[in-house]
Amino acid sequence: MQKPSAMLSMLSTAVEAGGFRDVDYALAKFIHNEAQDADPALLFSAALVSYQLGRGHVCLDLEACFDDPDSIFPVNASLLVDDPQYGCVTLQQCMTQIGYAAWIQRLAHAEIVGSGTGNTPLVLVGPRLYLRRYWQHERNIESMIQQRMAKTASIAATLTRHQALFQATLTSLFTAHQGPESDWQKLACAISARSAFSVITGGPGTGKTTTVVRLIALLQTLALADNKATPLTIRLAAPTGKAAARLQSAIASAISSLPVEVRTRVEAHLDSEVSTLHRLLGPQRDSRQFRYNARNPMPVDLLIIDEASMVDLDMMASVLSALPEHARLILIGDKDQLASVEAGSILGELCLRAEQGNYLPSTIDWIQQMTGEIIPSDLQNTAGDALSQHVVMLRKSHRFSDASGIGQLARAVNLGDIAAMRAVWHGAYKDIHYLHFPTDNLQTLTQQLAGKPTNQVIGSGYAAHFSRMSSSQPTLDEDLDTFDQWARSLLTEYSQFQVLCALRNGDAGVEGLNLKIEAALAGQGLIPTNQPWYSGRPVLVTQNNYSLGLMNGDIGLTLHYPLNAAGGRAWGLRVAFIGKDDAVHWVSPSRLNHIQTVYAMTVHKSQGSEFEHALLVLPPKMNPVLTRELLYTGITRAKARFTLVTLDNQTVPEEAAARRVKRASGLSF
């Protein structure tokens, strides 16, 4: 194999070709500087570890490098090796010739690669090669979750002693269940109540938020029964500002449906503000460290994290480290949604066996004794694992019935059942639509999205937004409350429809579609040409701005607004946002640094949001980003109507549904 210096040169060339990233090369160079005698195989493996982290993998699965190299290697890098034994071949061919066992031997270097103990920058465990930091994160997460799961027996015994109160509270929270099916919301409350760690997963409309509110009511009732002077300190959090705002609204709605005496108790002892995880931990200026950590735990008894599928390994490790030993942790989310943008797929790994249940006889007996509910026999397992006793999957959707095409399509995609997908599209469902455009007719799609010509499936497009805006605009002399009402109405209407893209770049990506939609709107005279700010421009906040009270994912509308001038009022432009306080906030465009136009947004950015009508545009050919999870997430952003758009290749949706996200990690419970 090439000398170390030649390997670095090859990696540098691969960066220029768009394969590896600068940071991947930098890690390999760092390893070389630290150990001049490091084998070229070690330098290349280090670069691959970094490259895989950028793709969301916690570690590099070396076995996969040999079993399926095309799924690992950078796609735009020509990695040629001038090897004295094999001649000029690709690195993949060279690795195959060397073999897995010999490659592992080449990684042996006491200063660089360790097995866990020590402080080597890389850790090799079996076939998995880690950066030490991520290996340590995994071990910390495993340890802290297992510590909480170990408390189940003592918590369950305490609840059994308060059985009468436990049962009476559950009865007041859950009306008599109709039908032969188990009441999974009630089961989720009971299972979570007997543990210091639990996971509640389920698709859209399965009642996750409702369950959380009732669980809070149950736990607070039990806590106050022990000591009326010490209610539980409860915090709710989500990964993004958008998800936090949505949870806050959903929690308020769910609390209003509680029985009066329970509602009063919950409202009196619940911090109504839902925070982002980042803000909850207390970020420190110019530092990666947080205010709350293992040495300074958060003052909390119960932490509930919503949209947990979006939480990456680094953040989960920080959260668990900052929790006091006695605190409970409950994770809420849809296990089938896209995982975090950063490395890790925590919720997905915790819910690997959620479909099968795997409940032990001891769990089943306790549940029946305390709730009267019976877990179906096909979800019982005498050899069930410990983690499964802490995971509950809500199985009944109250949003998507059997008559819903959205629900049926999401279910078929989730199963990777191509035949079922085709059957759904051929069914007479009124809430799903399919459009196909040749790529050279992409302009036709964007013109229809802009509103000209009108498409029956798309509707009147964004032209209707500008029509409503101009026809309802208050006059310059009207009071500011009227402008607030106008902005609120427009923001509510605008949020009913959203174009989603799988990709950020390219003609069929967010950047391309936003430009083309703006061009089509300008062609109709609805917006000015070549002006970045104009009345009606929708913008998406892409980075938290605490000074303005804006969170990553917030959407605002640019509108005409009366400003004070020397001669009285004059028109100006301000961007209207609806804040956590449900008030309209007007922000000067000059103060918004991290925003983008948002006629279209990525599916990733849409997580934590829902729209009456979601239109998903897929690219004309397959891309590594296109997976079952992305397709499912895009479909389930739609509450009442979903439209799928393909370009050129009509098989892309089926190919995407056949591919699952498989993130390399070594988490074990």
Q: What is the mean pLDDT of residues 405-423?
A: 92
Per the document, the length of the chain is 669
Residues 6+ apart with CB under 8 A from 435: 445, 455, 457, 458, 643, 644, 645, 646
- Contact residues for 527 (Cβ-Cβ < 8 A; gap 6+): 466, 518, 521, 534, 536, 537
What pLDDT does residue 84 have? 54
pLDDT given for residue 326 in this prediction = 92
Task: Tell me the average pLDDT across 129-146.
Answer: 94
* Mean pLDDT for the stretch of residues 496-510: 90
Please indicate whether residue 468 or residue 249 has the higher confidence score (pLDDT). Answer: 468
pLDDT of 444 strictly over 70: yes
Superfamily of domain 4-126: RecBCD complex, subunit RecD, N-terminal domain (1.10.10.1020)
Lowest model confidence (mean pLDDT) among 71-75, 139-143, 515-519: 71-75
pLDDT category of residue 437 using cuts at 50, 70 and 90? confident
Among 16-25, 72-81, 603-612, the range scoring the smallest mean pLDDT is 72-81
Q: H/E element holding 320?
A: helix 313-322
Q: What is the pLDDT of residue 228?
A: 66
User: Domains of the chain: which residue ranges?
Assistant: 4-126, 135-394, 405-658
315-344 average pLDDT score = 91
Q: Compute CA 357 distance to the chain's CA centroid, rounded to the nearest angstrom.
A: 23
pLDDT number for residue 272? 64
Binding residues: 202-209
Looking at per-residue pLDDT, the higher value among 18 and 194 belongs to 194
Please give the annotated binding residues for ATP, written as ranges.
202-209
The model's pLDDT over 217-248, given as tens digits with 9 standing for 90+, comes to: 899 888 887 766 688 888 999 888 778 877 87
List, for residues 381-393, the tens digit of each pLDDT value.
999 999 999 999 9
> What distances in angstroms separate CA 465 from CA 189, 303, 469, 497, 634, one per listed residue?
43, 40, 6, 10, 23
Is the pLDDT at 318 greater than 50? The verdict is yes
Per CATH, the architecture of 135-394 is what? 3-Layer(aba) Sandwich (3.40)
pLDDT score, position 33: 92
Q: What is the pTM of this model?
A: 0.87
pLDDT at 86 over 50: no
- Strand 497-501 and strand 234-238: pairing? unpaired
* Statement: residue 474 has pLDDT above 70: yes
Give the integer Cα–Cα distance in Å for 132 and 471.
60
**pLDDT averaged over every residue in the chain:** 86
Residue 459: pLDDT band by 50, 70, 90 thresholds?
Answer: low
CATH number 3.40.50.300 is the correct assignment for the domain at 405-658: yes
Q: Is the pLDDT of residue 31 over 70?
A: yes
- Kindly report, residue by residue over 41-66, the tens digit of the pLDDT: 899 899 999 999 988 899 999 988 88
Instruction: Judge whether residue 266 has pLDDT over 80.
Output: no
Q: Is the pLDDT of residue 331 over 70?
A: yes
Contact 15, 25 (CB under 8 A): yes
Confidence at 618, pLDDT banded by 50, 70, 90 = very high
Same CATH fold assignment for domains 135-394 and 405-658: yes
Q: How many CB atoms sit inside 10 A of residue 222's CB?
A: 17
